[in-house]
Amino acid sequence: MKKENQSDTPQAGGFRGSFSGKLGYVLAVAGSAVGLGNIWRFPYLAAKYGGGIFLLTYLVLMLTFGYALIVSETALGRMTKRSPVGAFGAFGKSVPFRFGGWINAVIPMLIVPYYSVIGGWVVKYLIEYVRGSTAALAEDGYFEAFLSEGFCAWVWFLVFGALVAAVLFAGVKQGVERVSKIMMPLLVILAVFVAGYSMSRPGAWEGVKYFLIPNFKNFSWMTVVAAMGQMFYSLSIAMGILYTYGSYIKKDVDIEKSTAQVELFDTAIAMLAGLMVIPAVFAFSGGDPNMLKAGPSLMFITLPKVFAGMGFGTGAGILFFLLVLLAALTSAISLAESGVSTFEDQFGFGRVKSALLMGIIMLVFGSASVFGFGALDFISVLGMSILDFFDFLTNSLMMPVAALATCLLVTRVVGLKRIAEEVEQSSGFRRKKMYCFFMRYLAPVCIVIILFSSIANVFGWITM
Ligand code: PHE
């Protein structure tokens, strides 16, 4: 239990020394939360799973279930001063406790490899904008050709991975956080500008309506499954991250308020991304259903078309992909850091050995995800490409289980009362009743339904 003894000493490269105060904490959590999930993943899921009805489902889930889980994880982290494996272990040593801790700890290790593949796509686009290939990027079929060629995408994946590794090794995380303070407001300003331009294209208004106005005809079970997975992903819930962050804060951080701030910021960025991408689908392809269902490639296909039509398209492209790259880096670093510290704490490995191990995991799974679109495209796992499979495995299967583990820990073992006491150490717990209701009833029911729906969907027992 190394962590416990070190609870007040800043760790080299770790998060513990980096929260200068309440604002520092909110910024660090926001830096982890805002990433590719908001800018790349949210718009494509919203486009695919029903537009406005997806948005509505997402918002409801975030304000209820998501809120309760963030508060729980942060409070458990602060209470035990440990990251997930240790936090679960603090309440019991039997198998269910070990399982609960480990499932939370393993998820980031499985996400960071394929996250870095998409980070690589971002680096590639940034470089192409710098080289002035604005028109070529907007051509039909450009992105597909890039993906299926494989080797080039692999090199960019390595570049992104090397950036993450460099930051982890050099321990310059503080510097990165300083960058993210400047980057986030800039990202918002640029996103407002690009979204405004995208919405003003002829035909784009249909897309704005599709994205913002719920249409119950578009509702399916998959809308809920996807919205819940996205909520976990985007807010960094159910993957141990918030336990770890919670373990670094002092009693003066108002958990409720900081949770609300992070949720607000994260959702604002996701919605802006939706307003950049979805109206563009309608403007450039008249809302073609195939295009709406394009999946992971959507952002990389539509935004270049938007930039190509703009006066300062190349400049906007450079700035946009640079900011997305920074946002992706801060998130990837927090994912990788979480893996590294699990190795350090649980196996007693040194920092270098832990980082190397994380690097090997990234290399193996990441390479498989890259070549899943090229040389390995004959491999399909449950009908999905390798990258999609990792995304599905973590978001739709493992995260509900991890969230369920947290709910059970809170309701059955720790007790809602103790969590409330922890929150109340820093502020009045304004939404206590709501919190208890969600944890006790809503969350377990939601999670179990979602888990079974996603399994049933994969095996074709039900069509959604
Ligand atoms: N929340 C991040 C995003 O939206 C992804 C992430 C998850 C980052 C967990 C860190 C930890 O991109």
pTM recorded for the entire structure: 0.88
Give the residue, out of 62, 230, 234, with the most ligand 1 atoms within 8 A of its beta carbon, to mutate for a pocket test.
234
Is residue 236 lining ligand 1, measured as CB closer than 6 Å?
yes
Q: How far apart are CA 138 and CA 266, in angstroms?
A: 28
Each residue's pLDDT tens digit, 193-246:
989 999 999 999 999 999 999 999 998 888 988 898 899 999 999 888 898 888
Evaluate whether 83 touches 339 at the Cβ level (below 8 Å).
Answer: no
Closest by CA to 71, choosing from 344, 416, 461, 449, is: 416
Determine the distance separating the centroid of ligand 1 and the alpha carbon of 367, expressed in angstroms. Answer: 20
Give the model's pLDDT for residue 253. Answer: 86
User: Strands (DSSP E) along 227-289, which ranges?
Assistant: none
Residue located via tokens 């491999």:
379
Is residue 38 lining ligand 1, measured as CB closer than 6 Å?
yes
Q: How far apart are CA 455 and CA 432, in angstroms?
A: 33
Is residue 36 lining ligand 1, measured as CB closer than 6 Å?
yes
Is residue 395 lining ligand 1, measured as CB closer than 6 Å?
no
Each residue's pLDDT tens digit, 329-353:
888 988 888 888 888 888 888 888 8
- 384, β-bridge pairs: 381
Q: How far apart are CA 413 and CA 94, in angstroms?
A: 13
Determine the distance separating the centroid of ligand 1 and the alpha carbon of 28, expressed in angstroms. Answer: 12
Q: How far apart are CA 193 and CA 250, in angstroms?
A: 38
Residue-by-residue DSSP string for 286-317? TT-HHHHT-GGGHHHHHHHHHHHHSTTHHHHH
Cα 119 to Cα 11, 31, 139, 460: the distances in Å are 27, 15, 21, 32
Evaluate whether 86 touches 345 at the Cβ level (below 8 Å).
Answer: yes
Residue 259 CA, chain-centre distance (Å), reads 16
Determine the distance separating the centroid of ligand 1 and the alpha carbon of 26, expressed in angstroms. Answer: 15
pLDDT, greater one: 201 or 453 = 201
> How would you label 88-106 residue by residue, b for 16+ Cβ within 10 Å and e otherwise?
bbbbeeeeebeebbbbbbb
Give the model's pLDDT for residue 289. Answer: 85
Determine the distance separating the centroid of ligand 1 and the alpha carbon of 66, expressed in angstroms. Answer: 14
Give the residue, out of 236, 271, 272, with the most ligand 1 atoms within 8 A of its beta carbon, to mutate for a pocket test.
236
Nearest atom of ligand 1 to the alpha carbon of 266? 4
Cα 410 to Cα 29, 71, 116, 239, 407: the distances in Å are 22, 11, 33, 16, 5
Residue-by-residue DSSP string for 325-391? HHHHHHHHHHHHHHHHHHHHHHH---HHHHHHHHHHHHHHHHHHHHHTTTTTTT--BTTB-HHHHHH
Percent of the chain with pLDDT over 90: 49
Mean pLDDT along residues 269-288: 92
Cα 328 to Cα 43, 45, 78, 315, 420: the distances in Å are 16, 18, 26, 20, 33
User: Band of the pLDDT at 19, cuts 50, 70, 90?
Assistant: low
Is residue 31 lining ligand 1, measured as CB closer than 6 Å?
no
Is residue 28 lining ligand 1, measured as CB closer than 6 Å?
no
Give the residue, out of 335, 358, 399, with the most ligand 1 atoms within 8 A of its beta carbon, to mutate for a pocket test.
335
Average pLDDT, the chain: 87
Q: Give the domains, in start order, of the chain with CATH numbers.
A: 3-458 (1.10.4160)
Determine the distance separating the centroid of ligand 1 and the alpha carbon of 13, expressed in angstroms. Answer: 19
Is residue 13 lining ligand 1, measured as CB closer than 6 Å?
no
Each residue's pLDDT tens digit, 99-140:
999 999 999 999 999 999 999 999 999 999 999 999 999 999
Nearest atom of ligand 1 to the alpha carbon of 40? 12
Q: Which residues contact 19 (CB under 8 A, 6 or more apart)?
A: 25, 28, 248, 249
Longest Cα–Cα distance of the chain, Å, equals 62
Is residue 244 lining ligand 1, measured as CB closer than 6 Å?
no
Q: How far apart are CA 44 and CA 274, in angstroms?
A: 8
Determine the distance separating the centroid of ligand 1 and the alpha carbon of 238, expressed in angstroms. Answer: 11
Q: How far apart are CA 34 and CA 87, in angstroms?
A: 25
Evaluate whether 229 touches 397 at the Cβ level (below 8 Å).
Answer: no
Mean pLDDT is lowest, of 23-32, 153-162, 301-310, 419-428, for 23-32
Determine the distance separating the centroid of ligand 1 and the alpha carbon of 217, expressed in angstroms. Answer: 31
Is residue 147 lining ligand 1, measured as CB closer than 6 Å?
no
Q: Which residue, by CA, sits nearest to atom 9 of ligand 1?
A: 236
pLDDT, greater one: 22 or 205 = 205
Each residue's pLDDT tens digit, 380-425:
777 788 998 898 889 888 999 999 999 999 998 999 999 999 999 8
Is residue 32 lining ligand 1, measured as CB closer than 6 Å?
yes
Return the DSSP state at 11. Answer: P
pLDDT, greater one: 242 or 460 = 242
Cα 132 to Cα 95, 126, 198, 284: the distances in Å are 56, 10, 21, 22
Determine the distance separating the centroid of ligand 1 and the alpha carbon of 35, expressed in angstroms. Answer: 6
Is residue 334 lining ligand 1, measured as CB closer than 6 Å?
yes
